[in-house]
């Protein structure tokens, strides 16, 4: 009996191992536009004629200069019938999901920053992401050349990428996020909403709206402004571990370049506005 159990355990363990291995060896990216969906394997992408070597002066995920084998996103999505107001939902295999404005992704110099799909070659693996246990940013990773950090949200550097989907803007898809017309154009509440969509929604939903799933919903059952003192909430958003820490903590700290003090104030203003509605 004991021998049988041991054999079963071995088979089960081996099954997991083989499953994990084949996953890791044949990663693929699914690209969906308004009319069709295609799944591209890593081998196929690495053999693409449009593959080029791209040097990134400062990669905020690796926190240093990096060089990648990559395809311009404008090339990858050419012919996808992308409209002016469209967005591309970039989803990672770990439930991170960010909506990136398509005009940013499709921009080409000299008009703006350039987005690339970097592909990790198993023959030349990337290093592990520093300060985490997440392994490398591969097998697929969106990197940016040019553009300011205010323009390119830290969350637009989407790693562990699994799918790219052309879709409507988040404001159209999730009307519950909106600010009423009587809030003036220059009100920080509006800026707060924009920053929330560009940064926080990668991991958080709001009242069920959004696609992020790494972190808790920030309206349901309670909005953080209802239980955090405002000054502590701002301190938490700048650096969560300055308020509490534990080994599994995942919420990133944001430096001034990624989220200014004015941005943090604006996000808290928007959260407060929504809590009072
Ligand atoms: C990369 C994913 C990620 C991003 C981006 C992110 N968060 Fe989080 N956040 C988390 C996770 C995960 C938690 C749960 C605690 C943890 O594991 O660190 C969390 C926790 C929180 C909490 C605490 C909730 C509680 O009750 O303890 C607040 C408030 C919060 N996030 C707000 C924000 C805001 C606002 C932004 C945008 C500026 C943001 N987060 C961006 C992942 C993220």
Per-residue pLDDT tens digits for 163-178: 999 999 999 999 999 9
CATH number of 27-168, picked from 3.30.930.10, 3.40.50.300, 3.90.420.10, 2.40.160.10? 3.90.420.10
Distance CA 139, CA 27 (A): 7
Q: Cα–Cα distance between 68 and 74 in angstroms, integer?
A: 17
Mutational pocket test of ligand 1: of 61, 92, 203, the residue with most ligand atoms within 8 Å of the beta carbon: 203
Distance of CA 251 from the midpoint of ligand 1 (Å): 5
* 144 or 25: which leads in pLDDT: 144
* Residue that wins the pLDDT comparison between 257 and 265: 265
Please indicate whether residue 25 or residue 87 has the higher confidence score (pLDDT).
Answer: 87
User: CB of 224 closer than 6 A to ligand 1?
Assistant: yes
What does the block give as tokens for 255? Answer: 């430096």
Query: What is the whole-number distance in angstroms between the Cα of residue 58 and the centre of ligand 1?
Result: 25
Q: What is the average pLDDT across 180-196?
A: 97
Say what the pLDDT of residue 183 is.
Answer: 97
The confidence score (pLDDT) of residue 61 equals 96
Structure token pair of residue 240? 């969560």
The Cα 139–Cα 9 span in angstroms is 31
251 in contact with ligand 1, CB cutoff 6 A? yes
CB neighbours of residue 237 within 10 Å: 23
Q: How many CB atoms lie under 10 A from the CB of residue 198?
A: 23
15-39: average pLDDT? 71
Token pair 């943090």 is at which residue?
264
Is the pLDDT at 1 greater than 70? The verdict is: no
Which of ligand 1's atoms lies nearest the C-alpha of 212? 2
Specify whether the CB–CB gap between 274 and 205 falls below 8 A: no
Residue 16's pLDDT band (cuts 50, 70, 90): very low
Query: Cβ(269)–Cβ(188) under 8 Å?
Result: yes
Q: Is 202 in the pocket of ligand 1 (CB under 6 A)?
A: yes
The pLDDT, as a whole number, for residue 19 is 36
CA of 44 to the centre of ligand 1 (A): 36
Nearest CA to ligand 1 atom 33: 200
The total of other beta-carbon atoms located within 10 Å of residue 162's CB is 19
Check residues 136 and 133 and name the one with the higher pLDDT: 136
How many angstroms separate the CA atoms of 100 and 89, rounded? 6
Q: Out of 105-114, 150-159, 212-221, 235-244, which region has the weakest mean confidence (pLDDT)?
A: 105-114
Atom of ligand 1 nearest to the CA of 196: 37
Mean pLDDT of the chain: 91
Residue 60 has pLDDT above 50, yes or no: yes
How high is the pLDDT of residue 149? 86
pTM of the model: 0.90
pLDDT at 25: 58
Q: Are 65 and 55 spatial neighbours (Cβ–Cβ below 8 Å)?
A: yes
Q: CA-CA distance, 226 to 275, in Å (whole number)?
A: 8
> Measured between alpha carbons, how far apart are the two ends of the chain, in Å?
64
Contact 73, 115 (CB under 8 A): yes
**Closest ligand 1 atom number to CA of residue 199:** 37
Q: Are 30 and 79 in contact (CB under 8 A)?
A: no
Most distant pair of Cα atoms in the chain: their distance: 75
User: Whole-angstrom Cα distance, residue 234 to residue 205?
Assistant: 19
Q: How far is ligand 1, taken at its centre, from the CA of residue 204, in Å?
A: 7
Q: Is 99 exposed, middle or buried (0-12, 13-18, 19+ CB in 10 A)?
A: buried
User: Rounded to whole angstroms, how far apart are CA atoms 34 and 12?
Assistant: 41
CA of 220 to the centre of ligand 1 (A): 14
Token digits of residue 54: 């791209």
Instruction: Assign domain 172-276 to a CATH class.
Output: mainly alpha
**162 in contact with ligand 1, CB cutoff 6 A:** no
pLDDT at position 4 is 46
| Percent of the chain's residues with pLDDT above 90 | 83
| Ranges of each domain in the chain | 27-168, 172-276
| Ligand 1 geometric centre to CA of 208 (Å) | 15
pLDDT surpasses 80 at 266: yes
CA distance 63 to 66: 9
The label of the residue with tokens 């791209």 reads 54
Locate 259 and state its tokens.
Answer: 């989220």
Beta-carbon count within 10 A of 28 CB: 16
Taking only the tens place, the pLDDT of each residue in 207-248 is 999 999 999 999 999 999 999 999 999 999 999 999 999 998
Give the confidence band of 24 by pLDDT, cuts at 50, 70, 90. low
């Amino acid at each position: 009996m004991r021998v049988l159990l041991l054999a079963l355990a071995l088979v089960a363990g081996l099954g997991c191992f083989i499953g994990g291995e084949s996953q890791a060896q044949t990663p693929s990216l699914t690209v969906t536009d308004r009319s069709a969906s295609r799944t591209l394997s890593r081998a196929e992408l690495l053999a693409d004629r449009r593959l080029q070597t791209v040097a990134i002066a400062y990669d905020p995920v690796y926190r240093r200069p990096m060089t990648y084998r990559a395809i311009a996103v404008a090339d990858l999505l050419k012919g996808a019938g992308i409209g002016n107001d469209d967005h591309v939902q970039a989803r990672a295999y770990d439930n991170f999901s960010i909506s990136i404005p398509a005009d940013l992704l499709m921009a080409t110099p000299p008009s703006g920053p350039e987005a690339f799909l970097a592909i990790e070659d198993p023959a030349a693996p990337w290093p592990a992401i520093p300060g985490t246990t997440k392994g490398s940013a591969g097998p697929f990773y969106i990197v940016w050349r040019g553009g300011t950090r205010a323009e390119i949200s830290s969350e637009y550097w989407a790693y562990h990428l699994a799918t790219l989907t052309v879709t409507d803007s988040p404001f159209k898809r999730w009307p519950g996020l909106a600010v009423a017309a009587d809030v003036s154009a220059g009100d920080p509440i509006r800026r707060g909403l924009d920053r929330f969509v560009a940064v926080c929604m990668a991991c958080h939903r709001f009242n069920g709206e959004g696609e992020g799933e790494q972190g808790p919903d920030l309206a349901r059952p309670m909005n953080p402004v209802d239980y955090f003192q405002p000054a502590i909430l701002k301190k938490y958003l700048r650096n969560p571990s300055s308020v509490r820490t534990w080994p599994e903590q995942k919420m990133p700290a944001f430096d001034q370049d990624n989220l200014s003090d004015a941005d943090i104030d604006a996000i808290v203003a928007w959260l407060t506005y929504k809590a009072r509605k």
